[in-house]
Amino acid sequence: MEKATFGAGCFWGIEEKFRKTNGVISTRVGYSGGTLKNPTYEDMCSSETGHAEVVEIVYDPSIVSYEELLNNFWNIHDPTSLNRQGWDIGTQYRSVIFYHNEEQKKNALLAKQRLEKAGMYKKPIVTEIKPVSDFFIAEEYHQRYIEKNQRTR
């Protein structure tokens, strides 16, 4: 099993999409990339912790490749939107790939370069590609949020 960590706006929808990907074993939403230890959701909303809302993915590389996960990442958000996805505004909603090893770093950089060369976007891609930092799991009510809340409708 391997891990991948992505930030692409509000983690609820991102988690739901990755969770349904064949080969993904588990997902957890949380906070990464900032300076505050053990941030809460309220801390995150201040936009002062430096953290991004992220999904941490455990996947089976014999079923789904990191490259496939990267393709999903690029397709589920606007990587040209700086610190914003839809109605969600702030640095916590930035587009970011946190790589877990040098192979992931290489693949993320190559994927970003390919997209830029392909001219798919009119604006530059602003996605950050950084080494993974401490991951702080979000509060329980954020985990599998969309799945839990669809049941009550």
CATH code of 19's domain: 3.30.1060.10
- Domain containing 86: what range? 2-150
Centre a 10 Å sphere on the Cβ of residue 107 and count the other Cβ atoms it contains. Answer: 19
For the stretch 113-130, pLDDT in tens is: 999 999 888 999 999 999
Instruction: Give the separation between CA 29 and CA 144, rounded to whole angstroms.
Output: 8
For the stretch 85-114, pLDDT in tens is: 988 899 999 999 999 999 999 999 999 999
Give the per-residue pLDDT at 150: 80
Strand order in the sheet with 95-99: 128-131, 95-99, 2-8, 52-59, 24-32, 135-137
Give this prediction's pTM: 0.94
Active-site residues: which are they?
10
Asked if 124 contacts 116 with a C-beta cutoff of 8 angstroms, the reply is: yes
Give the per-residue pLDDT at 32: 97
Domain count across the chain: 1
Confidence label for 153 from pLDDT (cuts 50, 70 and 90): very low
Give the per-residue pLDDT at 82: 94
Instruction: Give the separation between CA 32 and CA 151, rounded to whole angstroms.
Output: 29
Asked whether the predicted pLDDT for residue 46 surpasses 90, the reply is: no
